[in-house]
Structure 1
Amino acid sequence: MDKIMINEMPKHVGETVRIGCWLANKRSSGKIAFLQLRDGSGFVQGVVVKADVPEELFATAKSINQETSMYVTGTVVEDERSAFGYELQVSGIEVIGEAEDYPITPKEHGTEFLMDNRHFWLRSKKQHAIMKIRNEIIRATYEFFNDRGFVKIDPPILTGSAPEGTSELFHTKYFEEDAFLSQSGQLHLEAAAMALGRVFSFGPTFRAEKSKTRRHLIEFWMMEPEMAFTEHDESLEVQEQYVAHLVQSVLKNCKLELGVLGRDTSKLEKVQAPFPRITYDEAIEFLHEKGFDDIQWGDDFGAPHETAIAEHYDKPVFIVNYPTAIKPFYMQPHPDRDDVVLCADLIAPEGYGEIVGGSERIHDYELLKQRIEEHQLDPEAYAWYLELRKQGSVPHSGFGLGLERTVAWISGAEHVREAIPFPRLLNRLYP
């Protein structure tokens, strides 16, 4: 008898198999018990028919508590009524670990209660589906960049400077020195790109931003590619191809999970490159036409502004060439204007906001030195970064994709806190 995972059942139709699983839920009549079983790879219904099993086994099936762990033996059969397409006709149950008073029941629970019990909430069908979609996005990311000759680089998490030049950093002591938790791996990736050409990182980043919106986390994960000999427009092409690849990979490999979440996949099917592009100037004009008189040229966009722009399109949209004054020091100026830079934010549809931010980087030594001075940054902290421009500098570009915002958008999750296993929010460091 084979011990298999639930997701392997399609290969074992008609066979008697054994699975290690937990009881997610159950219901029963006088003669049949229906057990909702999960093992991490998926969910399947186990059917226990009183007339076909020993009396003791049927009594066990009716009495086991939610989240009790067990080995279940049974025959795999096809079931067209099930979203999974298969069920297990149970012939044996071996209890491993009993569960009592499991806190998350099939009834409705408040958000704070669910967050306090996040270590259990992850077991639920919808949270399981979101985590599977997150995993597929990560897998597809490695596939995309590896297929295009990028090299995975791991930048440091402890740094002595701030890539964005902001004060929203987590400070710590590094022996006798001051250090910060990284808010981006970009600067170190630029150095790696000068060595390896095309690189990318995937790791945690930290922003000490006191925001409570559904788009913000204190700790989140970023995909950050950096490309030598690459100008802004070339980078935009990589960005739209990458995002389209993620969406299409999820559509292909996570159909069951998208169904569990009730996601409208027709909207995702439209996400094909190329994406529309508008300038910051055009975005301001559009917002004024829509009655947003609060936004003026030189202001950064808030959630309502991004949502209004996104609703005008049926796929992600690039907003390019933001004002120099509201962007970080390292962005390359526009060749024909000194008031905007060569950058872009990619805004996701359906109100999920910015999911990608990128730019061409300044490669001229004197200009970058001037920008560092204008932003009143510590020249010693950025000395190594500046030195890159003196040793064979080249035009180069890069971007960062926020994993959790992307997961939330593709899965249709209401809040980014559901897009990461254990969210760190403004007032939450538990569990």
Structure 2
Amino acid sequence: MKITISQVSKYVDQEVTIGGWLANKRSSGKIAFLQLRDGSGYIQGVVVKEDVGEEIFARAKSITQESSLYVTGIVQTDERSPFGYELQVKSVEVIHESVDYPITPKSHGTEFLMDNRHLWLRSKRQHAVMKIRNEIIRATYEFFNNEGFVKVDPPILTGSAPEGTSELFATKYFDEDAFLSQSGQLYMEATAMALGKVFSFGPTFRAEKSKTRRHLIEFWMIEPEMAFYQHEDSLKVQEEYVSYIVQSVLQNCKLELTTLGRDVEKLEQIKAPFPRITYDDALKFLHENGFEDIQWGDDFGAPHETAIAESYALPVFITHYPTSLKPFYMQPDPERDEVVLCADLIAPEGYGEIIGGSERIHDFDLLEQRIEEHKLSKDAYNWYLDLRKYGSVPHSGFGLGLERTVAWISGVEHVRETIPFPRLLNRLYP
């Protein structure tokens, strides 16, 4: 019977065939140990010369790294294995022999690994990160579907920019100017007025010339938008959502977290509600902790966010940023016009902002004024103003960056490991 490695628990003491690749091997006299992978998981195949005969044993010992093969054997429990099972091999059939596989078990430099990203993805560590990424995506759909949200797909090519055009990739759309989307938010606001609660999940692009471990040129965003939700309502959704995906990973990716050496005790604490601190209080905290140079109206950088996050075991909301720091569409605080009803959610352990969100301006005149103040084309935003002309309501939304969230939950240092084929400032290959 042909099965995958992930299915072996159902076939203990039965003979099965697994198609996979040889990740590594070692031999000890008359026994060979084959580390097999098939995409669904890893398992050790034990080849005993006395049981399989000279020919099969010699074949097993000669298989090269990343050769593809069919392995037939008996599934057995193995308490010494993190996976809990091993395969007592009876026969081996080589499908294709891999010659001089470039990524050997020795240490390699980052640039070499990035040049060979198409092969590096096969490694145990990268496999674990991708499985955690997949679990976060699965849990995202589950959470929002359970909460009554409708999945909507905003366009990737747009004629306007929600946060200005300075960090956008421009292109020609026949005889018009167009941009690769940096956010689907404006379109999600339109669909929220039609469907109530919506979310999108798709690629976004930022032409930001940054080389930090937190930045990618192309990344994926989850962007919910909710009609009749005010700022506080949105914060509750955010903390419940983040708690949900963390707990889902803990439940369904135990082996992957172990492979990565992740401290799961820190993740086990991630449950709503999350602490909140205003921009003003955050600024005061920074002044008291060695950051005297930052002034009111300055944005927080990575060192500032890290210092604030280190004071909490949970993700922390920083709310009520100065209006001057935020995009044109954010609702001002009715009691204090110089700040807006917004929040950034900062992950613990130095992973920085993973969510940005706000209540949106729902007053036509104020939004029109903001568009003029930001010197944006009113013609390009006429459709967006229409949302405030025909049945406007208070509404809120947020965007979660998938790759930063994967980095935090999996515990990897750089976001380049959290997406299959990262696009960085100087990298468009492979």
Task: State the TM-score, normalized to the length of structure 2.
Answer: 1.00
Whether the aligned pair in 2 keeps the contact of 1:165 and 1:329 (CA below 8 Å) is: no
Q: Distance in 1 between matches of 2:183 and 2:382?
A: 18
Q: Distance in 1 between matches of 2:293 and 2:426?
A: 30
Q: Could you tell me how far 1:24 is from its partner in structure 2?
A: 0.2
Q: Distance in 2 between matches of 1:296 and 1:92?
A: 70
Aligned to 2:416: 417
After superposition, give the CA deviation of every residue in 1:172-227 in whole Å (9 maximum; x if it has no partner). Answer: 00000000000000000000000000000000000000000000000000000000
Aligned to 1:352: 351
Letter in 2 for 1:33: A
Q: Distance in 2 between matches of 1:113 and 1:148?
A: 44
After superposition, give the CA deviation of every residue in 1:239-277 in whole Å (9 maximum; x if it has no partner). Answer: 000000010000000000000000000000110000000
SS for the counterpart of 1:141 is helix
Aligned to 2:232: 233
What percent of counterpart residues are identical? 79
Aligned to 1:244: 243
Q: Would you say 1:298 and 2:297 are equivalent positions? A: yes
Aligned to 2:143: 144
User: Which ranges in structure 1 are unaligned for 5 or more consecutive residues?
Assistant: none
Q: Distance in 2 between matches of 1:371 and 1:15?
A: 69
Q: Distance in 2 between matches of 1:245 and 1:317?
A: 16
Q: Distance in 1 between matches of 2:206 and 2:426?
A: 14
Q: Could you tell me how far 1:285 is from its partner in structure 2?
A: 0.1
Aligned to 1:389: 388
Aligned to 2:70: 71
Q: Could you tell me how far 1:29 is from its partner in structure 2?
A: 1.4
Q: Distance in 2 between matches of 1:177 and 1:350?
A: 45
After superposition, give the CA deviation of every residue in 1:298-341 in whole Å (9 maximum; x if it has no partner). Answer: 00100000000000000100000000001000000001001000
CA RMSD between the two structures: 0.4
Q: Distance in 2 between matches of 1:253 and 1:396?
A: 34
Q: Distance in 2 between matches of 1:257 and 1:289?
A: 40
> Structure 1 segments of 4 or more deviating over 6 A?
none
Q: Distance in 1 between matches of 2:380 and 2:101?
A: 51
Task: State the TM-score, normalized to the length of structure 1.
Answer: 0.99
Q: Could you tell me how far 1:408 is from its partner in structure 2?
A: 0.2
Letter in 2 for 1:19: I
Of residues 264-273 and 160-169 in structure 1, the stretch that sits farther from structure 2 once superposed is: 160-169
1:273-352 to structure 2, matched below 5 A, reads: 273-352=272-351
SS for the counterpart of 2:340 is coil
Aligned to 2:124: 125
Q: Distance in 2 between matches of 1:218 and 1:320?
A: 26
Aligned to 1:189: 188
Aligned to 1:373: 372
Q: Could you tell me how far 1:284 is from its partner in structure 2?
A: 0.1
Letter in 1 for 2:132: I
SS for the counterpart of 1:339 is strand
After superposition, give the CA deviation of every residue in 1:365-414 in whole Å (9 maximum; x if it has no partner). Answer: 00000000000001111110011100000000000000000000000011
Whether the aligned pair in 2 keeps the contact of 1:331 and 1:341 (CA below 8 Å) is: yes
Of residues 290-299 and 408-417 in structure 1, the stretch that sits farther from structure 2 once superposed is: 290-299
SS for the counterpart of 1:428 is coil
Aligned to 1:198: 197
